[in-house]
């Protein structure tokens, strides 16, 4: 007989750069998104959910990040049209703002949360699909809109579990920077390349320190590995003006504003920027947002080229240990600013817009690092199966538990090996197992095994303090719910 050649089996693997999220990971993110949506909603923002797929034409072909202009999207041809997965939530907003411009309220406040896709080389902790969580106001030119976004960002951080004092929203204004550059003799179209280098140099202050930035403003900088990065070629005098700007932060907002006003003296755009910062500070103060939550910080510039006015960044101010156990600042978890050519490429009309994007995964990581995510045993109570013929009785028990709001399930594997059932309960992180065989049914009783207590006993070598508390006991069947609730309430 001829052998039929078998197809090789497919590999059970996620594509490179993609990952799966299980149980608590999903639940914690969902919970965080729900909390964030609650704040956004309270601020009058409306939800918008666009599809994952857009035409390449509507999306624009390139990511907005100037450092990687050619990094791409996942795209394919379909019916003579090129389609692609969205790479952020701003490009679809631009399309929506243009498509529905006659129907949407103006200003249009919208929030959006969902995955975006980047066709980039994956790396450790760097995935090709990740969540974004944005809020933008389209059609409002007033900096009141920017102030509102900053206030909302501050509220959001507190609502998701970052207490006041553990974060700061830092605000700056691109017009101030432009004014400073004008004063330094770097205005004009022929200086665009230099301005770009200055922008990115300031953005690296955290990492390189003042001397590193100064080097990048001048001839350039050689890093520890010997690689040389070409600088902006500024004279010492010019560089000093920029460094003065970076270090213009004073003890309070008023003093910082005064210092900035000195620095941009003679530049109209600079004066406009300082006035905008001042207005934002006033509005925020009136809303109860003082400098312990939102402060003016001239060192914030945001690397992206497209911002045109206020820029802001939320930073967590506590230290965490990195992979090697060294303390480091947790750093930025959100950022945004004003950008004014959102809809223009579709309609030709300039529409002002401002918005923020929160890095949900970073924020979750921060809460994990601070031990602020719920770690109670959230597994279900497992009703074990001693007697296969009594499955209806076991189902009755779990139904009763579920109706009482207790997460519960009956063991559905092969019940032959009882040890496997307890191992299963362990793997599920169960707080308790319920055990009932013929004897218990005859006596109208059930056994409860307290697995939280069991885990405590296993952790603590000295059994002394536990010995009076049995981790397994019998209760009358009709006290099953009450007893389990006692165990569940006692945990944590």
Residues 379-398 that bind a copy of itself (CB under 8 A): 379-380, 382, 391-393, 395-396, 398
> Which tokens hold the place of 107?
């200003």
Q: How far is the CB of 220 from a copy of itself (least distance, A)?
A: 35
Q: Which CB atom, from 14 or from 235, has the smaller least distance to a copy of itself? A: 14
Our measurement of the distance from residue 228's CA atom to the centroid of its chain's CA atoms, rounded to an integer in Å, reads 33
481 belongs to the binding site for a copy of itself (CB under 8 A): no
> HSE on the CB side for 37, CA within 13 Å?
14
Q: Which CB atom, from 226 or from 348, has the smaller least distance to a copy of itself? A: 348
Question: Which parts of 80-99 interact with a copy of itself (CB under 8 A)?
Answer: 81, 83, 85, 95-96, 98-99
Cα(158)–Cα(269) distance, integer angstroms: 35
Site string for a copy of itself, 226-265 (x = CB under 8 A): ----------------------------------------
Report yes or no: 412 and 428 within 8 Å, Cβ to Cβ. Answer: no
Question: Which parts of 301-340 interact with a copy of itself (CB under 8 A)?
Answer: none
137 belongs to the binding site for a copy of itself (CB under 8 A): yes
Candidate list 128, 175, 221, 302; residue touching a copy of itself; CB under 8 A: 128
- Per the annotation, does 40 bind a ligand? no
Q: Which CB atom, from 158 or from 240, has the smaller least distance to a copy of itself? A: 158
Report yes or no: 446 and 475 within 8 Å, Cβ to Cβ. Answer: yes
Question: Which parts of 145-204 interact with a copy of itself (CB under 8 A)?
Answer: 145, 147-148, 151, 155
Candidate list 3, 5, 11, 459; residue touching a copy of itself; CB under 8 A: 11
Q: How far is the CB of 49 from a copy of itself (least distance, A)?
A: 4
208 belongs to the binding site for a copy of itself (CB under 8 A): no
- Per the annotation, does 166 bind a ligand? no
Q: Which CB atom, from 122 or from 220, has the smaller least distance to a copy of itself? A: 122
Closest CA to 300 of 285, 286, 315: 315
Cα(70)–Cα(56) distance, integer angstroms: 14
* Phi, psi values for residue 356, rounded to 5°: -135, 150
* Residue with token string 């550059």: 181
Cα(312)–Cα(356) distance, integer angstroms: 8
> Which tokens hold the place of 212?
């590193």
428 belongs to the binding site for a copy of itself (CB under 8 A): yes
Site size with a copy of itself, rule: CB under 8 A: 104
Interhelix angle 236-246/205-217, rounded to 10 degrees, is 160
Q: Which CB atom, from 147 or from 243, has the smaller least distance to a copy of itself? A: 147
416 belongs to the binding site for a copy of itself (CB under 8 A): no
Q: Which CB atom, from 68 or from 121, has the smaller least distance to a copy of itself? A: 121
466 belongs to the binding site for a copy of itself (CB under 8 A): no
Candidate list 62, 74, 318, 441; residue touching a copy of itself; CB under 8 A: 74
Interhelix angle 253-263/236-246, rounded to 10 degrees, is 160
Report yes or no: 412 and 465 within 8 Å, Cβ to Cβ. Answer: no
> Which tokens hold the place of 351?
């529409």
Candidate list 140, 169, 263, 452; residue touching a copy of itself; CB under 8 A: 140
Cα(174)–Cα(197) distance, integer angstroms: 15
DSSP state of 155: H
Task: Report, in angstroms and rounded to the nearest whole number, the Rg of the chain calculated over CA atoms.
Answer: 29
Report yes or no: 214 and 198 within 8 Å, Cβ to Cβ. Answer: no
280-306 CB burial, b ≥16 within 10 A, e <16: bbebbeeeebebebbbbbbbbbbebbe
Cα(218)–Cα(197) distance, integer angstroms: 10
Question: Which parts of 43-72 interact with a copy of itself (CB under 8 A)?
Answer: 43-44, 46-55, 57-58, 60
Q: Which CB atom, from 128 or from 200, has the smaller least distance to a copy of itself? A: 128
Candidate list 18, 230, 317, 417; residue touching a copy of itself; CB under 8 A: 18
349 belongs to the binding site for a copy of itself (CB under 8 A): no
Q: How far is the CB of 180 from a copy of itself (least distance, A)?
A: 27
Q: How far is the CB of 464 from a copy of itself (least distance, A)?
A: 33
Cα(64)–Cα(90) distance, integer angstroms: 10
> Which tokens hold the place of 298?
């001239």
Q: How far is the CB of 443 from a copy of itself (least distance, A)?
A: 20
Q: Which CB atom, from 29 or from 214, has the smaller least distance to a copy of itself? A: 29
Which residues are annotated binding-site positions for L-histidine? Answer: 88-90, 118, 132, 136, 302, 306-307
């Amino acid at each position: 007989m001829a052998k039929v050649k078998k197809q090789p089996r497919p590999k059970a693997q996620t594509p490179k750069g993609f990952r799966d999220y299980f149980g608590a990971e999903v639940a914690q993110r969902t919970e965080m998104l729900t909390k964030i949506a609650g704040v956004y909603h309270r601020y009058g923002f409306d939800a918008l959910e666009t599809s994952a797929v857009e035409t390449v034409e509507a999306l624009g072909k390139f990511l907005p990040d100037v450092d990687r202009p050619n990094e791409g999207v996942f795209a394919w041809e379909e019916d003579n049209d090129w389609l692609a997965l969205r790479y952020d939530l701003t490009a679809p907003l631009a399309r929506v703002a243009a498509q529905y411009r006659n129907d949407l309220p103006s200003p249009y406040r919208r929030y959006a949360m969902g995955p975006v896709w980047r066709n980039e080389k994956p790396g450790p902790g760097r995935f090709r699909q990740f969540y974004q969580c944005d809020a933008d106001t389209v059609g409002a030119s007033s900096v009141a809109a920017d102030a509102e976004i900053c206030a909302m960002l501050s509220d959001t951080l507190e609502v998701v579990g970052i207490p006041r004092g553990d974060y700061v929203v830092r605000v700056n204004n691109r017009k101030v920077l432009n004014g400073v550059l004008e004063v330094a003799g770097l205005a004009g179209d022929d200086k665009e390349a230099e301005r770009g280098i200055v922008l990115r140099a300031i953005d690296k202050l955290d990492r390189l320190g003042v001397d590193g930035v100064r080097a990048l403003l001048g001839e350039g900088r050689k890093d520890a590995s010997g690689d040389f990065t070409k600088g902006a070629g500024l004279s010492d005098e010019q560089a000093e003006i920029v460094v003065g700007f970076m270090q213009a932060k004073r003890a309070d907002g008023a003093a910082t504003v005064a210092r900035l006003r000195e620095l941009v003296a003679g530049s109209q755009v600079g004066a406009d920027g300082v006035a905008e910062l001042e207005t934002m500070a006033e509005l925020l103060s009136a809303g109860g947002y003082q400098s312990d939550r939102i402060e003016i910080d001239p060192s914030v510039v945001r690397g992206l080229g497209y911002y045109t006015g206020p820029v802001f960044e939320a930073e967590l101010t506590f230290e965490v240990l990195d992979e090697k156990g060294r303390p480091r600042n947790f750093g930025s978890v959100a950022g945004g600013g004003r950008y004014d050519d959102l809809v223009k490429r579709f309609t030709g009309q300039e529409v002002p817009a401002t918005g923020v994007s929160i890095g949900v995964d970073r924020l979750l990581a921060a809460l994990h690092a601070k031990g602020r995510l719920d770690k109670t045993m959230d597994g279900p109570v497992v009703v074990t199966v001693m007697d296969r013929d009594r499955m209806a009785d076991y189902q009755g028990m779990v139904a009763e538990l579920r109706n009482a709001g207790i997460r519960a399930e009956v063991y559905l594997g092969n019940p032959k090996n009882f040890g496997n059932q307890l191992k299963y309960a362990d793997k599920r992180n169960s707080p308790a197992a319920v055990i009932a065989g013929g004897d218990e049914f005859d006596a109208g009783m059930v056994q409860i095994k307290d697995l939280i207590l069991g885990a405590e006993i296993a952790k603590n070598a000295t059994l002394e303090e536990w010995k009076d508390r049995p981790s397994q006991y019998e209760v009358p069947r009709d006290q099953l719910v009450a007893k389990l609730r006692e165990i569940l309430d006692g945990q944590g």
